[in-house]
């Protein structure tokens, strides 16, 4: 899937705004940081401003191009975290709202063990168990009416599921929590725009008319639970992790 960096920044800026609270877990002294799934680079930039040396990586060329344009002189690279190699492991692996796009976390955490120094930190937040359950259910129902089935591109784990994965890959848990984070989506078309951006892999095989049918159907079925008078609210649930690589 290729990302629309402009739409992301205009309509989904909440992604990096919420992510800013994760910065509180960074070390106080300057650290080398790999920002995994950096998107358009806002959090990488904030970490640079705090005095850290940051490399932002993302698989989307559009996102990285936009990050480079906004923050010239800062380091960004189009690369997949699963295959990224470095001779210099980082003090901190950081990631906000990205790791749910990677379904194989066994491989991911085994890779992370190589990318972070012994004693270094893995700080992240992404979708936890039950994330966007209402949206997904409504979307699935609409697709089924067209004879299609929903293919989830996501991994939304619980803490119980994730702790053994961390430990099996040499990470000691310092903080592991799940919480509901209902998330406002901008304007009357907020839910529609969100679906177009994030469920594009399921929508792209449909004609434009069928896509609109699905989008309108989802809006109608979520009107009661997710429309809050002037905006849509997505039923986000987060898993937040701070773990240290054992020495
Ligand atoms: C999330 O941040 O939880 C999320 C974003 C896009 C699609 C699915 C989940």
Q: For ligand 1, pick from 3, 100, 196 the residue to mutate: most ligand atoms within 8 Å of CB.
A: 100
Residue 185 is predicted with a pLDDT of 95
**Nearest C-alpha to atom 8 of ligand 1 is from which residue?**
198
**Nearest C-alpha to atom 1 of ligand 1 is from which residue?**
127
Residue 242 is predicted with a pLDDT of 98
Higher pLDDT, 14 or 61: 61
Sign of torsion, CA 46 48 50 52?
positive
Pair of tokens at residue 78: 């189009």
Q: Is the CB of 198 under 6 A from ligand 1?
A: yes
Q: Is the CB of 97 under 6 A from ligand 1?
A: yes
Higher pLDDT, 48 or 14: 48
Atom of ligand 1 nearest to the CA of 194: 6
Pair of tokens at residue 52: 């850290």
Sign of torsion, CA 182 15 86 174?
negative
Ligand 1 centroid – CA 114 distance (Å):
27
| pLDDT class of 3 with cuts at 50, 70, 90 | low
Q: Is the CB of 131 under 6 A from ligand 1?
A: yes
Sign of torsion, CA 105 100 175 244?
positive
Residue 163 is predicted with a pLDDT of 98
Q: Is 80 exceeded by the pLDDT of residue 11?
A: no
Average pLDDT of the segment spanning 8-12: 64
Atom of ligand 1 nearest to the CA of 238: 3
Ligand 1 centroid – CA 153 distance (Å):
10
**Nearest C-alpha to atom 2 of ligand 1 is from which residue?**
97
Residue 122 is predicted with a pLDDT of 98
| pLDDT class of 218 with cuts at 50, 70, 90 | very high
Average pLDDT of the segment spanning 159-168: 98
Burial class (CB in 10 A: 0-12, 13-18, 19+), 151: exposed
Q: Is 80 exceeded by the pLDDT of residue 13?
A: no
Q: Is the CB of 124 under 6 A from ligand 1?
A: no
Report the topology of domain 5-130+154-187+235-245.
Answer: Rossmann fold (3.40.50)
Residue 70 is predicted with a pLDDT of 96
* pTM, to two decimals: 0.93
Measured between alpha carbons, how far is 64 from 217 in angstroms, rounded to an integer?
34
Ligand 1 centroid – CA 127 distance (Å):
6
Residue 8 is predicted with a pLDDT of 64
Residue 121 is predicted with a pLDDT of 98
The per-residue pLDDT for range 123-144, each reduced to its tens digit, is 999 999 999 999 999 999 999 9
Q: Is 70 exceeded by the pLDDT of residue 9?
A: no
Measured between alpha carbons, how far is 45 from 55 in angstroms, rounded to an integer?
10
| pLDDT class of 10 with cuts at 50, 70, 90 | low
| pLDDT class of 60 with cuts at 50, 70, 90 | very high
Q: How many residues does the chain have?
A: 247
The per-residue pLDDT for range 181-197, each reduced to its tens digit, is 999 998 899 999 999 98
**Nearest C-alpha to atom 3 of ligand 1 is from which residue?**
127
| pLDDT class of 209 with cuts at 50, 70, 90 | very high
């Amino acid at each position: 899937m290729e990302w629309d960096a402009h739409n992301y920044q205009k309509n989904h800026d909440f992604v990096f705004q919420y992510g800013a609270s994760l910065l509180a877990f960074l070390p106080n002294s300057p650290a080398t940081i790999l920002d995994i799934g950096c998107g358009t680079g806002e959090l990488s930039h904030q970490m640079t401003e705090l005095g850290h040396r940051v490399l932002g990586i993302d698989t989307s060329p559009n996102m990285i191009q936009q990050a480079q344009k906004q923050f010239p002189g800062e380091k960004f690279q189009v690369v997949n975290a699963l295959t990224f190699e470095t001779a210099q492991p980082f003090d901190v692996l950081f990631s906000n709202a990205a790791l749910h796009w990677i379904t194989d976390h066994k491989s991911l955490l085994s890779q992370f063990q190589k990318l972070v120094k012994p004693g270094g930190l893995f700080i992240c937040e992404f979708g936890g168990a039950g994330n966007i359950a209402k949206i997904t259910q409504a979307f699935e129902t609409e697709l089924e009416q067209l004879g299609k089935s929903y293919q989830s591109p996501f991994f939304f784990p619980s803490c119980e599921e994730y702790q053994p994965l961390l430990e099996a890959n040499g990470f000691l848990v310092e903080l592991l929590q799940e919480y509901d984070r209902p998330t406002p989506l901008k304007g009357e078309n907020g839910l529609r725009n969100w679906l177009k951006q994030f469920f594009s892999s399921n929508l792209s095989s449909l004609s434009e008319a069928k896509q609109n049918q699905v989008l309108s159907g989802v809006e109608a079925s979520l009107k009661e639970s997710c429309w809050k008078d002037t905006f849509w609210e997505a039923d986000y649930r987060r898993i937040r992790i701070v773990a240290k690589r054992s020495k």
